[in-house]
Amino acid sequence: MSNARQPIDLKRIAGAFGLLGSFESGAPYGSGHINDTFALVYDQGGRPVRYILQRVNENVFKNGEALMENIRRVTAHQHAKLAASGASEASRRALSLVPAADGRCFHRDPEGGLWRVYIFVERATGHDRIETTAQAEAAAKAFGEFQKLLVDLPGGPLHETIPQFHDTASRFRALLQAVEADVCNRAAGVKSEIDFALARQADADRLLALQRAGEIPTVVTHNDTKLNNVLLDDATGEGICVIDLDTVMPGLALYDFGDMVRTATNSAPEDEPDVTKVHMRMPMFEALVRGYLASAGGFLNATEKELLPFSGKLLTFECAIRFLTDYLQGDVYFKTRRPGQNLDRCRSHFKLVESIEEQHEAMLEVVRRW
Contacts with Mg ion, residue ranges (CB under 5 A): 32, 229, 244
Q: Which is nearer to ligand ADP, 193 or 244 (CB)?
A: 244
Residue 224's SS3 state is coil
Instruction: Pick the stretch among 29-37, 170-178, 278-286, 340-348 that binds ligand ADP (CB under 6 A).
Output: 29-37
d(CA 79, CA 300): 25
Return the one option of ligand GN1, ligand ADP, Mg ion, none that residue 118 interacts with (CB less than 5 to 8 A, by type). Answer: ligand ADP
Return the one option of ligand ADP, ligand GN1, Mg ion, none that residue 346 interacts with (CB less than 5 to 8 A, by type). Answer: none
Using CA atoms of 40, 45, 46, 48 in order, give the dihedral in degrees to the nearest 10: -20
Instruction: Pick the stretch among 33-41, 75-83, 178-186, 290-298 that binds ligand ADP (CB under 6 A).
Output: 33-41
d(CA 187, CA 173): 15
Contact with ligand ADP (CB under 6 A): which of 13, 71, 82, 95? 95
Instruction: Pick the stretch among 79-87, 194-202, 241-249, 296-304 that binds ligand ADP (CB under 6 A).
Output: 241-249
d(CA 97, CA 332): 29
Contact with ligand ADP (CB under 6 A): which of 228, 265, 295, 359? 228
- Name the residue whose CB lies closest to ligand ADP: 32
Q: Hey, which residues between 114 and 173 contact ligand ADP (CB under 6 A)? A: 118, 120-121, 126
Strands 97-98 and 36-44: unpaired
Q: Hey, which residues between 49 and 88 contact ligand ADP (CB under 6 A)? A: 52
Q: Which is nearer to ligand GN1, 28 or 297 (CB)?
A: 28
Kindly list the residues in this chain that would bind ligand GN1 in the complex (CB under 6 A): 32-34, 60, 224, 226, 229, 244, 246-247, 270, 319
* Residue 222 DSSP symbol: -
d(CA 328, CA 280): 27
Q: Which is nearer to ligand ADP, 196 or 323 (CB)?
A: 323
Q: What share of the chain is helix, strand, coil (3-state, %, to 5)?
A: 50, 15, 35
* Integer Rg of the chain from CA: 20
Q: Which is nearer to ligand GN1, 42 or 350 (CB)?
A: 350
Please report, as a single letter, which amino acid is at residue 267. S
Q: Which is nearer to ligand GN1, 347 or 366 (CB)?
A: 347
* Residue 304 DSSP symbol: H
d(CA 238, CA 137): 9
Give the shortest CB-98-to-ligand ADP separation in angstroms. 10
Q: Where are the alpha helices (DSSP H) in the chain?
A: 10-14, 64-85, 90-93, 133-149, 168-181, 191-198, 206-212, 253-264, 282-296, 302-306, 308-328, 341-368
Q: Where are the alpha helices (DSSP H) in 18-98?
A: 64-85, 90-93
Give the shortest CB-200-to-ligand ADP separation in angstroms. 27
Give the shortest CB-140-to-ligand GN1 separation in angstroms. 16
Contact 179, 188 (CB under 8 A): no
Return the one option of ligand GN1, Mg ion, ligand ADP, none that residue 121 interacts with (CB less than 5 to 8 A, by type). Answer: ligand ADP
Label residues 348-366 b or e (16+ Cβ within 10 Å = b): bbbbbbbbbeebeeebbeb
Q: Which is nearer to Mg ion, 228 or 359 (CB)?
A: 228
Return the one option of ligand ADP, Mg ion, ligand GN1, none that residue 319 interacts with (CB less than 5 to 8 A, by type). Answer: ligand GN1
d(CA 51, CA 244): 15
Give the shortest CB-341-to-Mg ion separation in angstroms. 17
Sign of CA dihedral 188, 313, 269, 334: positive
Return the one option of ligand GN1, ligand ADP, Mg ion, none that residue 95 interacts with (CB less than 5 to 8 A, by type). Answer: ligand ADP
Q: Which residues bind ligand ADP (CB under 6 A)?
A: 29-30, 32-35, 37, 52, 95, 118, 120-121, 126, 228-229, 243-244, 246
